[in-house]
Structure 1
Amino acid sequence: MTPQIPGFDTRRVAVAERVSLNVAVGGDGSPVVLLHGFPQTHLMWRHVAADLAADHTVICPDLRGYGGSDKPGDVDGRTYAKRTMAADIVALAGALGFERFALAGHDRGALVAFRAGLDHPDRVTHLAALDVLPTLDSWEVMRGRAAAVGFHLFLMAQPEGLPETMIGAAADAFFGHFLDLWASDAEAIPQDVRAAYLKASREAVPSIVADYRATATVDVEDDEADLRAGRRLRMPVTVLQQDWGAALGFDAAARWRAWADDLDHRTVSCGHFMAEEAPEEVVKAIRDLLARRPAA
């Protein structure tokens, strides 16, 4: 049986034509939407969500293309654009009765949250991003030998066919590699949750690749257009990151300050899967974020 977030109800919510998201909802109060990363599902938020649900309505969807959500074929190169996936989240919140909401994302989910904050500033009151840089910045800093850490970005950026074939041939080994490599505490992801992540990823290879391929194409174009137009995140922003900026020779906080005026940038000592490895630290950061005054 697939693990569940205790006390949360799971449902499917239509967000676009022929696209419904699998979402776990719990608690009561002002809404907080939590977006998962790779190679995970909404289950990565199980500890954080349970805490926040004490005084918030907590909404944990599987992104389109992941977990129990629909996985449409990419017909135009924009099916998995972060702009499209961000629109899903705004539609999801609206369908659940919330016009404005706080948004936190990890990894891939943080890229969706970033895009939602830029495209829908009237809907997103607060924004948290865990262990990622904006898409444009990620490509700018991944160079030389240091780029080896992001080999999967380059693999999945290739034209349709080769990445799907290669990853599909050894899906558990591929996705399991990242679960092992990026965690500083192997016990933070118990075996039943790990099995759920691997199964969900194994069943979603084409859509996961399409998500990453968009990050090398249309998502970069959208970020570049926003940078030229001077668009910035207007809401309070909190970023939690490992100190991998120092390891790769760049200032991660400065990269984020280029996009956000009201920024709280924090460095954590745990591994990449911080919502599972250090949930108390993540909860505190989100609660501190929610206590800041949103932009008018």
Structure 2
Amino acid sequence: MFENFVLEMVETEGGPIRLRHGGSGPPLLLIHGHPRSHMTWGHVADLLSADFRIVCPDLPGFGRSYIPRDDPESRFSSKRAKASALVEVMERLGHHSFFVAGHDRGSLVAFRMAMDHPDLVRKLITVDGLPVIEHLERADWKFARDWYHWFFFAQPEKPERAILADPMAWYSALRPDEMGREAYDELVSLIHDPAVVHGMVEDYRAGIRIDHRHDREDREAGRKVRCPMLCLWSLDDDLEQIYGDPVAIWKPWADNVGGSGIKSGHHVAEENPAALAAAFKAFL
């Protein structure tokens, strides 16, 4: 994976961000979800590197990037703060406008980036995600049954203690045959790191504490994603089953949005990278 890519740490105001970048063409920022690092994009990055300059960072709080400092409202782990940090990264790499795609928690950061930095984001792709406020306002018993971790992770201290008591049991779905051995071995190391576990959990606390307020403020002000947007979701995951048509939910948030499902489980960049890369390339 990541053939001919450069691995480096880029300093930002918040701290260092680890990333890989390579390829040629217009810049495309790929943002991973929970509990992954940038390594989840390896096969997709290789498939797209002939057409795009790919930038794959570890989100702050994840991987080997900086852990945001604590705050009663989790402001430094908010999607707004993380979007700002990644914009700073792109500027330091010389990319003053770019495409952005995010998966899972990364889709929330990509969405916030398009909302807060409309002059920089040329096109937006979200994969397996909706605005935080839409998740919360639509939560029902199916959400509580299948996505209970959103609310468990919002609690103080207990989530970290539960995960770190047996990380491999908590993340029992990890599969080296899908992820690749290097990505798998690194992720096993990461989920045993108390600082990283705390950083990942804080991402969820920010959703419950502050991210939904940012969404509400935008909705009340009538602000929308101005650039063209593509919404994708994994057909063998449960986003569509819980919420209905994701494109219909996104339409009030964007001036120009379309989308479709991809045959895959939740971690589509690992399970069906060819279909995901093809969808990205067709849209971009």
Q: What is the TM-score normalised by the length of structure 2?
A: 0.93
Aligned to 1:64: 60
**1:16 is matched with which residue?**
13
Partner residue in 1 for 2:221: 229
Aligned residue pairs total 279
CA distance in 1, matches of 2:143, 2:82: 29
1:225-245 Cα deviation digits (max 9, x unpaired)? 111011111111111113434
Please list, as runs of the form range in 1=range in 2, the aligned pairs for 1:29-48 lying within 5 A after superposition. Answer: 29-48=25-44
1:207-234 CA-to-partner distances (Å, cap 9, x unmatched) read: 1111110011100110111110111111
What are the residue-to-residue correspondences of 1:138-157 with 2, within 5 Å? 138-157=135-154
**Would the alpha carbon gap of residues 249 and 259 (structure 1) be closer, same or farther in structure 2, given more than 3 Å must change?**
closer
Deviations, residues 19-54 of structure 1 (Å, cap 9, x unaligned): 110010111221001011111110111111112111
2:129 corresponds to which letter in structure 1?
Answer: V
Give the letter for the 2:47 counterpart: D
Q: Is the 8 A contact 1:175 1:198 kept in 2?
A: no
**SS at structure 1 position matched to 2:18:** strand
State which of 263, 266, 284 in structure 1 corresponds to 2:278. Answer: 284
- Greater shift, 189-198 or 52-61, is seen at 189-198
| Structure 1: gaps of 5 or more residues | 181-185, 291-296
The residue that corresponds to 1:294 in the other structure is none
Alignment identity in percent? 34
Could you tell me whether the CA contact under 8 Å between 2:62 and 2:200 is conserved in 1? yes
Mapped contact 1:83–1:119 kept (Cα < 8 A): yes
1:213 corresponds in structure 2 to 205
User: Unpaired runs of 5+ in structure 2?
Assistant: none
The secondary structure found in structure 1 opposite 2:82 is helix
Q: Distance in 1 between matches of 2:240 and 2:56?
A: 32
1:4-23 Cα distance to aligned partner (Å, 9 max, x none):
62211111111214x11001
Could you tell me which residue of structure 2 aligns to residue 259 of structure 1?
Answer: 253
Note the C-alpha offset of 1:83. 0.2
Q: Contact (CA 8 Å) 2:38, 2:57: kept in 1 or not?
A: yes
Q: Give, in angstroms, the shift of residue 202 of structure 1.
A: 2.6
Q: Quick check: 1:176–1:198 contact (8 Å CA) kept in 2?
A: no
Match of 1:188 among 178, 191, 209: 178
Q: Distance in 2 between matches of 1:195 and 1:232?
A: 40
CA distance in 2, matches of 1:215, 1:21: 21
Counterpart selection for 2:108 from 108, 111, 118? 111
What amino acid is aligned across from residue 201 of structure 1 in structure 2?
I
Contact 1:238 1:265 in 2 (8 A): yes
Within 5 Å, which residues of 2 pair with 1:241-260? 241-243=233-235, 244-248=238-242, 250-260=244-254
- Within the candidate set 118, 121, 126, 2:123 is matched to 126
The equivalent of 2:190 in structure 1 is: 200
Could you say what secondary structure the match of 1:261 adopts?
Answer: coil
